Structure 1
Amino acid sequence: MTDTKTRIAAGLERAFAENGFAEPNIDSLREAAGVSLRTLYKYVPSREEMVLCALEHRHRRYMEFVFDQAEAADEPVLHFLFDKVSGWMASEAAHGCLFHAAVAAAPRDERLRALLARHKKEVARAVAELSGLPDRQGEITLIVEGLMQDWPLHGDRATESAKNLGDLLVKAG
């Protein structure tokens, strides 16, 4: 990605995360991206493309945030990863998953649904591989999604519950 496209993607992600998908108009999205309208449309030619661009950027940031240094963790890897997901929720997603919000705003958009599915699958695959549970992606998805849904209400208690479930999953093999 070029520096300009990255800056646009970051600004769009921030605008959608702060204001949802219905509220920001094109001018506020252009302002958030920090570019002219012409440049915005050069890189992302429609509002739908702006949403996809923002979510692709968010996916990359999330994967880096959660999984960077997981292999070097000095605690059980699931504990480390669930703490990272909770850290993401605290700093980036206090209102819930932006991918789910995007699909809720445009439930018939197949590209959004595919992006949501790909994001969740990549997260589950990475957690499963790092934790040595490659055949448990479904269970891991359920725990991570549950953590993300419960975190806004219960914070650290949700994290501890996810760790407890992760421990049971590891014991079950």
Structure 2
Amino acid sequence: MTTDSAREQILATAEELYYTKGYAAVGMDELRTKAGVSLRRLYAAFPSKDDVVQAVLARRHAQWEAGLNGAVEAAGEDPRDRLLAVYGYLESWFCSDGFRGCAFINAFGELGGTNPEVAAIVREHKAAFQRYMAGLVAATGAPALLAAQLSILAEGAQSTAAISADPQAAAQARAAAETLIDAAIG
């Protein structure tokens, strides 16, 4: 196994374990065993658990942005449709097997109070989403405040869907978003 393939195997395994069991519940020994790597290789790739958590969050951020960008691009050129595509993306995510909420909200809930690096990563991820929404809103000509409102709807839908195990939270958020968008650009 090459260094790159071992690193990828460790990250994929850590992502799955953290998402299903929680960040605090998974130790390095369990990660090593499930990833099928030696302890030496694990620590060579990631000197500490904090390094693994940070790398997993970076990986999740890249996945989130790629998926979201893909959904918005697939919506075409209409700025309103592009904004609403965000909620379609959320709905497909909420309907996926093993959906357990936002990995960043989960990480912040578990580690944010005791791990300033994780708290900073989560805050930056959420800020990046708000900046993304601001760009989509600017394309509609609507007031900038709409971006914050639509972001809050998306964030609330994520938490609601995770807690209730009901993907309809995305459709409900989309309906509210349509009302806000139409009022703003009316």
**TM-score interval for Structure 1 and Structure 2 normalised by the shorter chain:** 0.7 to 0.9
Q: How many residues align?
A: 173
**Are the aligned partners of 1:71 and 1:130 in contact in 2 as well (CA < 8 Å)?**
no
SS of equivalent to 1:24: coil
**Are the aligned partners of 1:8 and 1:33 in contact in 2 as well (CA < 8 Å)?**
yes
Letter paired with 2:149: E
Q: Radius of gyration: which is bigger?
A: 2
Deviation larger for 126-135 or 48-57: 126-135
Query: Once the two structures are aligned, what percentage of the paired residues are identical?
Result: 26
Residue 49 of structure 1: how far off its partner (Å) = 1.3
**Are the aligned partners of 1:125 and 1:134 in contact in 2 as well (CA < 8 Å)?**
no
Whole-Å separation in 2 of the counterparts to 1:36 and 1:46: 15
Residue 137 of structure 1: how far off its partner (Å) = 3.2
Structure 2 CA distance for partners of 1:10 and 1:92, relative to 1, 3 Å: farther
Structure 2 CA distance for partners of 1:81 and 1:125, relative to 1, 3 Å: same
**Are the aligned partners of 2:91 and 2:168 in contact in 1 as well (CA < 8 Å)?**
no
Letter paired with 2:175: N
**Are the aligned partners of 1:12 and 1:54 in contact in 2 as well (CA < 8 Å)?**
yes
Query: Would you identify which runs of 4 or more consecutive aligned residues in structure 1 move more than 4 Å?
Result: none
Residue 118 of structure 1: how far off its partner (Å) = 0.8
Q: How does 1:130-149 map to 2 (within 5 A)?
A: 130-131=136-137, 132=139, 135=144, 136-149=146-159
In the alignment, is residue 122 of structure 1 matched against residue 128 of structure 2?
Answer: yes
Whole-Å separation in 2 of the counterparts to 1:69 and 1:87: 10
Q: How does 1:67-146 map to 2 (within 5 A)?
A: 67-74=69-76, 76-91=81-96, 94-106=99-111, 107-131=113-137, 132=139, 135=144, 136-146=146-156
Residue 130 of structure 1: how far off its partner (Å) = 3.0
Residue 154 of structure 1: how far off its partner (Å) = 6.2
Whole-Å separation in 1 of the counterparts to 2:116 and 2:175: 35
Per-residue CA deviations over 1:126-154 (Å, capped at 9, x if unaligned) read 23323435823321221111110122326
Whole-Å separation in 1 of the counterparts to 2:100 and 2:151: 19
Structure 2, unpaired ranges of 5+: none
Letter paired with 1:163: R
Deviation larger for 84-93 or 115-124: 84-93
Deviation larger for 95-104 or 49-58: 95-104
State the partner residue of 2:28: 26
Residue 87 of structure 1: how far off its partner (Å) = 1.8
Whole-Å separation in 2 of the counterparts to 1:28 and 1:167: 45
Whole-Å separation in 1 of the counterparts to 2:168 and 2:87: 12
Residue 12 of structure 1: how far off its partner (Å) = 1.1
Per-residue CA deviations over 1:77-116 (Å, capped at 9, x if unaligned) read 2332111122223326632222122122221211111111
Structure 1, unpaired ranges of 5+: none
